[in-house]
Amino acid sequence: MTKDLQKKLKSRWESFTAAEQKIATHLLHNVSGIPFETAASLGKRVGVSPMTVGRFLRNLGYAGLNELKEELRGDEPWLQLYATPEHTHSDPVSETLKAEIRDLTKVHALTRTAEWKAIVKLLVAADRISVASFHQARFLGIGFAGLLQSVKPRTVFVEGLDGAYADMLLDATEKSCVVLIDFRRYSRHFRILAEETAARGIPLAIVTDSQCYWARQFTDNVLMMPVDLGRAWHDFTATTSLLSLLIAAVSREQGDMFERIGDITQLRQKLVGYVEAPPDARRTSGGATKSKTDGKGKGGVAAHKSRGRPRV
């Protein structure tokens, strides 16, 4: 029954008004909370009136929220999503752990969706991937692009310092794609770039939260993270896991990328170096490691000169 509801909402998405898209987005990503909602509480969560909620449900073919609840009760896996309220006083760390486990469970569920498969396919086929993220989520895009670059050539994080995002929008190829990452409150650049990317016909994937109802106006390739409205700050634990799973999926689809990873590691060793290089990464002119001291038993310049370059 849950899949029927999801299919119904997605198939009619284009016909929904902005207010209806808010309700639909909430229903798609918070199905486990429906049994505890009323039209008034649901409307308050998404910022619409109870009358708008009722009218939306009637347009979907339900007499009201109660009929939707009855339909979903026939879905046995959905019943397992009920959470029994705990009236014990738990410490904040324990409550945070529980919330993170719930979010991670939802993230892994996303990997079985059609959107996930489409995004992985898009990234694998792309010959250039431009990533942009904003505000508190900026570090996520930087990390995602940096790690994805290890398995996917020509992946870049776009700063937009030119004020035009020219390398993302003007230099796009027929097989390039754009990945945008942002969470509430959304940067103005986030929406404008989504609009411009879609208008130019550049394949687009968006990673955001379940309150970003307008994301699907520009692409079907949307991964939405759950929102904890009771938390005053962002917790990106689950999002970090999502992006890591996405990189792993791309790597598996492409096949063995260890040669590229090895080449990158050698270049880093040659150009930057590591704090503790492996012993066999050093070589001397005689083929053996010499003592750190010179013939007189003193360290210093002679010892430094005896060390060879790292292997590349």
Q: In what order do the strands lie in the sheet with 155-157?
A: 155-157, 128-133, 176-181, 204-209, 222-225
Q: Provide the residue ranges of all domains of the chain, joining segments of one domain with +.
A: 2-81, 99-259
Looking at 1.10.10.10, 3.10.20.600, 3.30.1230.10, 3.30.43.10, the CATH number of the domain 2-81 comes to: 1.10.10.10
Name the pLDDT band for 277 (thresholds 50, 70, 90).
Answer: low
Same fold, 2-81 and 99-259: no
Distance from CA of residue 245 to its chain's centroid? 9
pLDDT, one tens digit per residue, over 62-103 is 888 888 877 776 544 434 444 444 444 556 667 778 878 888
Count of C-beta atoms within a 10 Å radius of residue 306: 17
The residues, ordered by sequence, that sit 6+ positions from 265 with a Cβ below 8 Å of its Cβ are: none
Distance CA 234, CA 226 (A): 11
Q: State residue 263's pLDDT score.
A: 87
Overall pTM > 0.85: no
* Per-residue pLDDT at 294: 47
Q: Do residues 151 and 262 lie in contact, with contact meaning Cβ atoms separated by under 8 Å?
A: no
Q: Is the pLDDT of residue 110 over 80?
A: yes
Model confidence at 299: pLDDT above 60: no
Please provide the CATH number assigned to the domain covering 99-259: 3.40.50.10490
- Model confidence at 170, pLDDT cuts 50, 70, 90, reads very high
